[in-house]
Amino acid sequence: MIDRETMEKRYGELGTGRFELTINGRSHDLYEILRIMGHDFEDIRPIDASVLPENRYAIRYGDLENRDIVVLEFDQEFRCLAEYHAHLADWMGEDEYQAFGWGAWCPWSI
């Protein structure tokens, strides 16, 4: 786990990144990047992406099941190089997070 400040220092404020990346001369939207990397689940919501130094890239998404903001760093072959999580309470504030009516939720219908 990392905190909001650390995540935003490295990747920018949440939602201010790119909505597509050009990798190896081909444009990819956020959903396609998540699919290629095997992170295209029902409870995943892409947020933004960024180009990092040394031919690295990053994509951020919300993991609704775990209530985290996740960032994946990867290379031009879409190999995951690092994965970091920050809890949603860092953005919402602890009081708002606890007061929010999360309820029991499952992404799959039963």
Q: For 43-78, how does the pLDDT look when each residue is reduced to its tens digit (9 = 90+)?
A: 899 999 999 999 999 999 999 888 899 999 999 999
pLDDT at 110 over 60: no
Structural domain spans, the chain: 4-92
Q: Which fold has domain 4-92?
A: Nuclear Transport Factor 2; Chain: A, (3.10.450)
pTM, two decimals, is 0.86
Q: pLDDT-derived band of residue 88, with 50, 70 and 90 as boundaries?
A: confident
DSSP string for the chain:
---HHHHHHHH-STT-SBSEEEETTEEEEHHHHHHHTT---TTEEEEEEEEETTTEEEEEEEETTTTEEEEEEEETT--EEEEEEEETHHHH-HHHHHHS------SS--
